[in-house]
Structure 1
């Protein structure tokens, strides 16, 4: 895409990569860049450092935690999980249905709606944010509390808030919907391998077993996110999606001498002049050291999220055969090239597209034979199967059976389009009442049948979709055959739209090339449940595959 006079948002804008991307973006003369970071001081300092490169572009800054609601975004993580009301909000937003209320509360959603960026570069290390919360240690502590009989709700809530999968899924759900509503054209994620490109033999741990479960959790989250982005890139109406995944240490921002800071705070210089017995040294009340009243100082190299390294640490980690390293400027160049439509060969989403085994010509040929064999066997056995509700979702089974009822009652799409919904409902109910085999098949696969008055229902031993609310009928759209007139009104409306589509298409006598939709329903076609369900998924649900 052309970046001149566009708006670009950089998530993680004060980080090593985010800063480099911002500098490179400014060279493309955008109208505005929006830097989003966790801390106010850092993002404002980054904006100030970018001032010489700004040109005519405006630089906006925002700060806070994009993984939580806006009301909680500027609170420290420890304060969030310590407060019962805050935990309740976090749990509701992470585990509940994705409603508009959840979206509108989200800080990330609010940012994307406020600025509506043409391009988003996401350089937040999402995998680190979720995986470095040590769910294993929390689980062990939870089990210990349970064993001691002292387990309370607060402990369970704190543990649930460490579970990575629900957090990642909800984050991506919000991201996808926000990108869609903001009409963003391009999304580039700067991801991670979790191990700096090394394998299970990585020697760097957090003092636990090798390989480190913490690092492997980070890799697992990073991999899961890549697959979710793979799906994002296959969704119509969403931005072009790219992931650049560095597989080396990223460095560096600065080389200097001064106080050594960890997590934003200077490390205090301490001493222990005399040794103490090991048996006493690590007791909770032990404090054999003395604070020297000044910070630890030294020569350092700033490697971004990994902190400050001494020369020997940097030399070891980046040595040939270890993590080695890549510069943020190189990553930024990959990002900009992809944004501008120049493939780098470094896009993980494109690599997955190329490496996966999609539909084949052979399968397409055999599909026709399989369907004909199924039809022949149905004719031979004088049976009609329609749906067994094993694949799911139950709504598919519902659609197929309702379309089958329409097919039994009307000879063509056009005839259905001309029907009266009330009459259809009455006829369908009469059919279900007298045809015990039809009724039995539907009920046996777990699909209830709601009578036209909405007050009575046929049900079998199993019910696939039951509603736990006050009105069980709320489950009907998700997995019940619904004989109410308003539901048949929906089928009549669908048939009318299919007829309208057919009339808008050029006649096949006029056009007979490969650009014609040869699978499209014609007005006088017989009603086939599978084709009707496919039409609903394609045109109502916008659920059409765009990559093969």
Structure 2
């Protein structure tokens, strides 16, 4: 990927690593760097510092954007606790995480708007996603709800707060939005600067967030970080997505500055307090957190010498010496990370790209697996004949669309025999014969209905179903049937016997045959997969092969990495 003349969006560009990456990128003449940060003043400060350092470049080289990328545009500048304290916004947050992804959720997302509105060629994500999600602390919100259940005083507000603090649903929605944003924004490369959550240490990490060791919250951070890496691994295997990379530092990242100033914790100064020895409380009795009558505020804030390590906070001399000591977290500098990031952007192989590592060390399809796959298919066919059954679909693999396609193709096979015979029948004839087939073949009908499929009859006005229904998903109340919903359900799972369904099937089969017939007769190389020989010269109607072709060519669900 060429950095020169590229527009680059750096998520978390004000932070320690983001700032170092900005400086490194400037060595390669980018067209524009869009710098995002949580707060407006941070993003603007980052841009101004860069303008001061590079005074001879155009003023629009550095563009600030700001806000919480994990929420809606309308809430991006609000404190999250404030958002959750208001009933409508809290319910909206629940829907944003748990509802099926739709255009409304996408267009309201701050992350989606940042990417789509700026159309970056490259997105570099320096935000610690794992921290942002895990430190919402589902353990704490669950404890509140659990106590309310025990006292028979359950509040819907606290249940909703617990729901929006759940780690995996948040991460899944974040990745879904990110994928859509990168595609809509026409980005060519996405690089994540991730985290291990423990600074490279193991479960014996002594730096914890509670009396528990290792801390559940800290391990949640590592869990989210690991899950995100695997989701990025899957995104990298998605053909329409940009190039996906991740650099994952496994040491304490330091440092931004060393100074004598007010000590800030969670963005606020630490107010000093005092209590004389003469006012000491007795250890007899209870430890009361609210007993503060003898504690006095001094009126001053804590000031000292510290080292600023960016998102990990500021450390005293002693804290920094401990964490950086040999065999503790030890130290990696942001400039080193920036070098690896830019090297990877320029198609270099740093040896530290997590996605490439997973590609290299995961075990894909094998020659033996392919050979035995064909043997297994032949064995299944043999047993079908011996037992006089057809093994079509059980609705265990999913999605329901697969079962629907397999049964529709099977019905066509029963009616026309081979693919080459399909054009001898009109859609109306096939529709009529399909109805007669499922009327007369109770076994076929029973199998479809019993696995959860609904069958829409040729008139489009009536349907049959079994006890279990896969689509639509079951709800507490009946669902109004509309023409739009019928079309949606037929696409996803209903066996559709209307003539219009068989118009689509004829078009599909003709495309398959045309594709195979376009291959020259004397072409015998390994170049083509879907040859006439693959389709048995159109003499048969192999529903499994056809479903595989549909998933590749129509649903765009195909594998390109092995």
Common fold: TM-score over 0.5: yes
User: What is the aligned partner in structure 2 of residue 318 from structure 1?
Assistant: 324
How much does 1:450 deviate?
Answer: 1.8
Secondary structure, aligned partner of 1:27: helix
Distance 1:297 1:461 in 2: 70
Which residue of structure 2 lines up, in the alignment, with residue 528 of structure 1?
542
Query: Residues of 2 paired with 1:192 and 1:297: CA distance?
Result: 30
Name 2:71's counterpart in structure 1.
Answer: 68
Instruction: State yes or no: 1:343 paired with 2:349.
Output: yes
Whether 1:78 aligns to 2:84 is: no
Q: Deviations over 1:397-440 (max 9, x none)?
A: 11101011112222443433564222211111111112223222
CA distance in 2, matches of 1:419, 1:108: 51
Structure 1 residue aligned with 2:496: 482
Q: Deviations over 1:207-265 (max 9, x none)?
A: 22111111101011111111111110100110111111111100000011111112222
User: Counterpart in 1 of 2:524?
Assistant: 512
Contact 2:263 2:314 in 1 (8 A): yes
After alignment, is 302-311 or 285-294 more displaced?
Answer: 285-294
CA RMSD between the two structures: 1.9
Distance 1:290 1:410, change over 3 A: same
Aligned pair partner of 2:280 in 273, 276, 283: 276
Aligned residues: 546
| Larger mean Cα displacement after TM superposition, 432-441 or 64-73 | 432-441
Match of 1:147 among 147, 150, 166: 150
Among residues 378, 385, 389, which one is paired with 1:372 in the alignment?
378
Q: Pick the aligned partner of 1:308 from 314, 326, 351.
A: 314
Q: How far apart in 1 are the matches of 2:6 and 2:425?
A: 51
- Match of 2:304, SS state, is strand
- In the alignment, the residues of structure 1 paired with residue 246 and residue 234 of structure 2 have an alpha-carbon distance, to the nearest angstrom, of 12
User: Which of structure 1's runs of 4+ aligned residues deviate more than 6 A?
Assistant: none
CA distance in 2: counterparts of 1:92 and 1:445, whole angstroms: 30
TM-score (norm 1): 0.95
Aligned counterparts of 1:417 and 1:273: Cα–Cα separation in 2: 96
SS at match of 2:36: strand
**Corresponding position: 1:248 with 2:234:** no
After superposition, where does 1:129-140 map in structure 2 within 5 Å? 129-140=132-143
Instruction: Name the CA distance, whole Å, in 1 between partners of 2:308 and 2:345.
Output: 28
Structure 1 residue 291: Cα displacement:
2.5
1:204 shift after superposition: 0.9
Q: What residue is the counterpart of 1:47 in the other structure?
A: 47
CA offset digits 1:481-534 (Å, max 9, x no partner): 11112222221221232233234x33141x222222255766735221011101
CA distance in 2, matches of 1:446, 1:43: 53
* CA displacement at 1:294 relative to structure 2: 2.6
Deviations 1:364-409, CA, capped at 9 Å, x for gaps: 1111111111112222223211112222222111110101111222
Task: For residue 445 of structure 1, report the CA deviation from its aligned partner.
Answer: 2.5
Conservation of the 8 A alpha-carbon contact between 1:248 and 1:326 = yes
Tell me the SS of whatever aligns to 2:28.
Answer: coil
Counterpart in the other structure of 1:228: 231
Q: Would you say 1:436 and 2:450 are equivalent positions?
A: no
Kindly indicate whether residue 396 of structure 2 is the aligned counterpart of residue 384 of structure 1: no
- After the TM superposition, which of the residue ranges 7-16 and 468-477 deviates more from structure 2? 468-477
1:281 Cα deviation after fit: 7.2
Residue 547 (structure 1) aligned with residue 561 (structure 2): yes
Per the alignment, in what secondary structure is the counterpart of residue 538 of structure 2? coil
Q: Secondary structure at the match of 2:453?
A: coil
Within-5 A mapping of 1:82-93 = 82-93=85-96
The answer for the alignment partner of 1:28 in structure 2 is 28
Once the two structures are superposed, what CA deviation does each residue of 1:290-334 show, in whole Å capped at 9, x if it has no partner? 333232111110001111111111010010010111111111111
Task: Provide the rounded CA distance (Å) in 1 between the counterparts of 2:377 and 2:428.
Answer: 34
Structure 2, unaligned stretches of length 5 or more? none
Q: Which residue of 2 aligns with 1:12?
A: 12
Instruction: Quote the offset at 1:45 in angstroms.
Output: 1.2
Give the Cα separation in 2 of the matches to 1:416 and 1:178: 42
Name the CA distance, whole Å, in 1 between partners of 2:242 and 2:3. 15
The match for 1:125 is 128
Are residues 519 and 16 of structure 1, via their aligned partners in 2, closer, same or farther at CA, if it must alter by over 3 Å?
Answer: farther
Matches of 1:376 and 1:269, distance apart in 2:
82
Distance of 1:444 and 1:269 partners within structure 2:
70
Matched, 1:205 2:208: yes
Deviation at 1:65, TM superposition (A): 0.4
Question: How far apart are 1:100 and its partner, in Å?
Answer: 0.6
Residue 206 of structure 2 aligns to a residue in which SS? coil
Counterpart CA distance in 1 for 2:468 and 2:297 is 69
Larger deviation: 272-281 or 20-29? 272-281
